[in-house]
Structure 1
Amino acid sequence: MERRRGPRAVKEAAQWSADGERVYFHKDDDGDEQHDIHSITADGETAAVVTLDGQTTLFDVGDDGDTLAIGSTAEGQQNLYVHRRSTGETERLTDHDHAAHSGVLPPACDRVAYATNEREDSANQDTYLVGTDGSDQRRLDVGEPGAETVPVDWGPDGRRLLLSDTSTDLNRCGVYDTEHDEVTWLGDGDAQERPVGFTPDGDRVLAVRTRAAADASVVYDLETGESRELDVPEGVSPFVRFGNPILDDRRVLVLHTTPTRRPELLCYDLATDEYETLIEAEYGGVDPELFRDAEFFTVSSSGVAETPARAVDLSPATELDIECLLYDSGERPSPLIVNPHGGPPVQEKRSFGLYTQFLLTQGYSVLQMNYRGSAGRGRAFREELYGDWGGAEQADVARTAEHVIETRDWIDADRVGIYGGSYGGYSAYWQLVQYPDLYDAGIAFVGVSDLVDMYENTMPHFKTGLMERYLGTPEANPDLYEQRSPVTHAENLDAPLLIVHGVNDRRVPVSQARIMRDRLTELGYEQGEGGDFEYHELGEEGHGSSDIDQKKRTFRLLGEFLDRRLGQPVAVSERSDKR
């Protein structure tokens, strides 16, 4: 029996229909992220619901059982559309130069709240309302210009709108009264908080509070303004993000994970502060005792590393404490894999990492860091990266690696590798050409090598929401685009490099890998397992994959390359437990 092929790039949430009889999901073509929206019933019957050119993303499913709020790049930039199941018609509601996103429908499904930017400041995001017939579009007067104000959920009264806002640096939650144009801000502003939703009675708001690379689930009482964190075991415990975390007025769904424990689904009773585990973590034939915990610490960085910079000279930037997670494999001496995250506005947390634990079981210790520009530390921390892509944040990466090598005598300073995907792949390329003295091998997975080509060929909402926000346009800043492209400095490469890229990647097109490969070949570098660099294009795959067989293929590529280039570690079965 032939296995049914599902989506290969599952980066968007599935959502239930209002009647609970079907689930809407995104379907791509071999990982290209050019989604259409399909549905599936409990008996496995599937149907195409919205099929448009480009990428189509389901934002919200209406309570009326008929209306879907979606975003689509069918006509260029991602804009807001509504789809009516009763007629099968899809109507475009907005026409913005910057991406429209985060659309949410009130119970009456008569309008949509969404976010976009019409100001000159490319970092700005405002919340708008528009009727589902395209009428009465207006921008809400809330938040400061240059900040990000994004709608999250409507209250059951259809009047109050839950907002996320960065006007006061740390992300905060607000409840906006659309009838009186008044907003009530929640919390005291001493922690980063992400709003999640109203409870069905409308009396409380759920949020996720982030501190020290960990998440806690929080409930706000709207009458008193007071909050409480849910009583769950220590770890990363946010409300379920993909799908609705609210079952009823009392029960909510929480994910719980630690570096050594895969995510588990908890059902938490807000009235009794008790929970039960609905879905326990499964490990198959893998012994969870093999997993290693993370050490959390911070490293002070001025945006200049001690290792000589070979590509671009940097001046000191803002002195910042950079959060780090260090995983000790137990190997002695231990090779080290420096693993900067993608994004860049995401955050490494004290949660289970599949690729991290794979590297650890192969004998490699792993260092992760939240360099300047990462999420979870506030607006000012994120904006440190604006206009300086490939600058101080890359020095943060190198500085944290230097610190670990200097302070952990069990690290083998002669076996240090760099590995990252997406923006982490850009970091891998950049670290190898900016700080070649620091590394003995590198892996760039779906990484960016040429910023001009990236700008010209990525999807429209990444062009404006990512490239222009951080770098401006190539026309306005040609020197910056050239200077901060790793391929410009490819001659600095002095360690074996593995390049891996999916041929169907639309976020970071495969041209990025080919440009670096061709430049290295032009410079006289030799390709192959015994050469200066190795190159693999992954068929039927885009910007990563959720297909287990394709994940295994990537594991094999990484493991075999590291074994060849950083030396064969002792087998896991032969290592003593040094935890």
Structure 2
Amino acid sequence: MNSQKRKVAAEDLYQLTYASDPQLSPQGDAVVYVKTMIDEERAYRNHLFVRDLQTGETVQLTSGAVRDTYPRWSPDGTRISFVSKRSGTAQVWLIDAKGGEPRQLTHCKTGVSTPLWSPDGQLIVFSSLMDRGETFDDQEGEAKEAVVPKVIHVERMKYKSDDYGYLYEKTRQLALVHVETGEVKALTDGPYHHTIGSWSPDGKWLAITANRNENPDMLHTVDVYLLPTAGGEWKKLTSSNGTFSHPTWSADSQKLAFIGSLADGIYLNATQKRVWTCDLDSGELTCVTADWDVQIGDSTIGDVRSPGHPTPGAVWTEDGTALYVIVSERGNSGIYRVALDGQKEHIVSGNRNVYGFTIDEQKQTLIAAISDPLIPGDLYQFDLGTKAEQRLTELNRDFFAEVELAVPEEIEFAAQDGWKVHGWMLKPVGYKPGEKYPLVLQIHGGPHSMYGNTFFHEFQILAAKGYAVLYTNPRGSYGYGERFMQACCGDYGGKDYLDLMSAVDYACQQFDFVDESRLGVAGGSYGGLMTNWIVGQTNRFRAGVTDRSICNWVSFYGVSDIGYYFSAEEIQANPFTNPEKMWQHSPIRLVANIETPLLIMHGEQDHRCPIEQAEQLYITLKHQGKAPVSFIRFPGAGHELSRSGDPEQRVLRLQYTEDWFATYMEPKVPSLQQ
């Protein structure tokens, strides 16, 4: 331990920065990436940087009080497109790859996203959320001040989204814009959402995904389509029997790859993503990873980077015999090279979290965005031939030079029924052998996500405050096979609860520094649900903190943006066929048992787990007049408050958590000067 270093604090969130969305130039000699930070006004800023891979020189392309994202090189490498709200709404902008003033390309009233260059560099495809009946011809000019309607007539079931707010009749449509003239041509229409995939090498086709079922509110499958850019008949490649995304073309235009899973009638949300290919001549579909029991993609939960980073999907090798993909397993996400015959090679491995990559096989170069327990997010370069690794950025060097971090210890233990459960223990900063420390059990959301080897600011704060932090992946988590992931469905509060209690038992038995009389529990979303459930089952915890939680499955069914189908799959019940089962799995049923002091925190604009869930829990506890309870509401905040919400609200949330545990668990805060 370095006695000169200080401890991590909630306010340090303002200093943390990370790199994301790396994109190699067509020549393979430079990489553009996004650097995300919080400025002195406590607002997010995203700026574009270009690094020359030969000289190591890094140039900042954009600056100012802006959020510039999604950089993509023109095919000739002379220009970079990106998305920015610098003119008021999110539009496509162009900038010379060597720097200069950017030029606005689109002027769509509702804003745009995910622009992608055509192979000849003349066109860019983009998407836009549009109202029913609206056309791209209506969209010239910038958005004006929104007018609140006197009445809203809702006919769709999926009329709101935690990502986009109230959609009502809006759908995501695709269009082309000519790079030189700015002329816009619509590609899609109708009451369906469409998502951009990739251009065919000859530029004649776009591979896209969409749910164009007759009733997309009820049938949630997503298909892959080939859309002719010059107009004409679409080609549907899948059979409305699964959910697919990120279609990518082989270099010879003969095959398409995509990520997805089949729906078996029971599990749509709780099915592992796999790699698929389609032979475009025969139409034959093949699941390349059918015999590999892993989750394709990054499923790691953290709290510094916002979720949903752009991902390349499955990237073809030059010869079309294999694909590069991110894989999540046992708390790590790395990159594999998967051959079409099923053979696998681990390209980027280790105890870390890969959340994005870009590759140039001819140059034998791969650039990955990586986090680990001590790094929020930096870029690394890998030589595919020699396997050599080089760190390209160290964005938080100065900050980490002055703070002391806790290093997690990996653990594995047997649950009560013998199933193996994996996790980590974080000792308090300043830990001294022979002393006893309070412990906080942290529970992740999802439930189909994964704690792992990534940076977690909240855990570091608790460790700095003198707590041991225990975090595990109970059944329901990604990373341990499909059977493990599906094991919580229909059993919330059953074996998953026992997994969490087994984790606490293991920690108390194996780590002599844990003070069993001072235990706390915390979690958000599903983790909040389980926190509510735990304090209704046992009084062994001195304090609990529940974030954006669920307490009542019966009401959740009708108020969440995903409630009516999520409940059917995860609880395997709905209010009109089996309300008793929904009630049995609802923590609010157990409120009379709760004696643990409980802090409830919730965003007022949370559409995933609406705030009425917190209101029910708070009022019921308060009405009983039993356990101490406090309710913190965050105006304007959605479900992603702790990861991408307003920075000041994120810091306040962390401070409320610290204060609650300090009040009821009396930690002994170590002095780093001792």
* TM-score bin (small chain): 0.7 to 0.9
Shift of 1:418: 0.6
Q: Secondary structure of 2:314's match?
A: strand
For 2:565 and 2:107, locate their aligned partners in 1 and report how far apart those are by CA, in whole Å. 27
Shift of 1:254: 1.3
> 2:570 is aligned with what amino acid?
Y
Q: Relative to structure 1, is the Cα distance of residues 482 and 138 closer, same or farther in structure 2, using a 3 angstrom cutoff?
A: same
* Residue of structure 2 equivalent to 1:491: 592
Q: Secondary structure of 2:446's match?
A: coil
Q: Secondary structure of 1:438's match?
A: coil
TM-score, normalization: structure 1?
0.78
8 Å contact kept, 2:237–2:278: no
Shift of 1:536: 1.0
For 1:424 and 1:566, locate their aligned partners in 2 and report how far apart those are by CA, in whole Å. 20
* Residue of structure 1 equivalent to 2:209: 114
Shift of 1:158: 4.1
* Residue of structure 2 equivalent to 1:394: 497
Q: Secondary structure of 1:536's match?
A: strand
For 1:481 and 1:193, locate their aligned partners in 2 and report how far apart those are by CA, in whole Å. 29
Q: Deviations over 1:522-560 (max 9, x none)?
A: 22247xxxxx01221123432213544333222211111
**Is the aligned partner of 1:236 residue 2:352?**
yes
* Residue of structure 2 equivalent to 1:22: 81
Aligned pair count reads 528
Q: Relative to structure 1, is the Cα distance of residues 251 and 7 closer, same or farther in structure 2, using a 3 angstrom cutoff?
A: same
Q: Deviations over 1:122-154 (max 9, x none)?
A: 998564325377953635259xx6x76544433
* Residue of structure 2 equivalent to 1:179: 281
Shift of 1:431: 1.2
8 Å contact kept, 1:14–1:26: no
For 2:42 and 2:406, locate their aligned partners in 1 and report how far apart those are by CA, in whole Å. 35
8 Å contact kept, 1:115–1:151: no
Q: Which has the larger radius of gyration?
A: 2
Alignment of 1:50-449 (within 5 A): 58=113, 61-63=116-118, 65-69=123-127, 76=168, 81-85=173-177, 86=182, 93=189, 95=191, 103-107=196-200, 108=203, 110-114=205-209, 125=221, 127-129=223-225, 131=227, 135-136=233-234, 138=236, 140=238, 149-165=244-260, 171-186=273-288, 189-190=291-292, 192=294, 194=296, 196-199=313-316, 201=318, 203=320, 204-220=322-338, 226-230=343-347, 234-238=350-354, 240-241=355-356, 245-246=358-359, 249=362, 250-282=364-396, 284-287=398-401, 290-302=404-416, 320-329=419-428, 330=431, 332-433=435-536, 435-449=537-551
Q: Relative to structure 1, is the Cα distance of residues 327 and 466 closer, same or farther in structure 2, using a 3 angstrom cutoff?
A: same
Identity over aligned pairs, percent: 17
* Residue of structure 2 equivalent to 1:537: 633
Match of 1:506 among 607, 619, 623: 607
Q: Secondary structure of 1:265's match?
A: strand
Q: Deviations over 1:164-220 (max 9, x none)?
A: 355798654332212222345546845525263324735342122344322232224
Q: Secondary structure of 2:662's match?
A: helix
* Residue of structure 1 equivalent to 2:660: 561
Q: Which runs of 5+ in 2 are unaligned?
A: 1-38, 47-66, 96-100, 131-158, 160-165, 265-270, 298-312
For 2:654 and 2:416, locate their aligned partners in 1 and report how far apart those are by CA, in whole Å. 35
Q: Relative to structure 1, is the Cα distance of residues 298 and 135 closer, same or farther in structure 2, using a 3 angstrom cutoff?
A: farther
8 Å contact kept, 2:328–2:478: no
> 2:327 is aligned with what amino acid?
R
8 Å contact kept, 1:26–1:38: yes
Shift of 1:323: 1.4
Q: Secondary structure of 1:335's match?
A: strand
Q: Relative to structure 1, is the Cα distance of residues 181 and 87 closer, same or farther in structure 2, using a 3 angstrom cutoff?
A: same
For 1:496 and 1:60, locate their aligned partners in 2 and report how far apart those are by CA, in whole Å. 49
Q: Deviations over 1:407-441 (max 9, x none)?
A: 322211111111111221112111111x3223110
For 2:382 and 2:416, locate their aligned partners in 1 and report how far apart those are by CA, in whole Å. 43
Q: Secondary structure of 1:246's match?
A: strand
For 1:372 and 1:201, locate their aligned partners in 2 and report how far apart those are by CA, in whole Å. 39
8 Å contact kept, 1:79–1:92: no
Q: Deviations over 1:217-256 (max 9, x none)?
A: 222455x765432366x32152x43xx6235643222133
For 1:391 and 1:51, locate their aligned partners in 2 and report how far apart those are by CA, in whole Å. 49
> 2:337 is aligned with what amino acid?
V
Q: Which runs of 5+ in 1 are unaligned?
A: 30-35, 304-318, 527-531
Q: Relative to structure 1, is the Cα distance of residues 333 and 75 closer, same or farther in structure 2, using a 3 angstrom cutoff?
A: closer
* Residue of structure 2 equivalent to 1:314: none
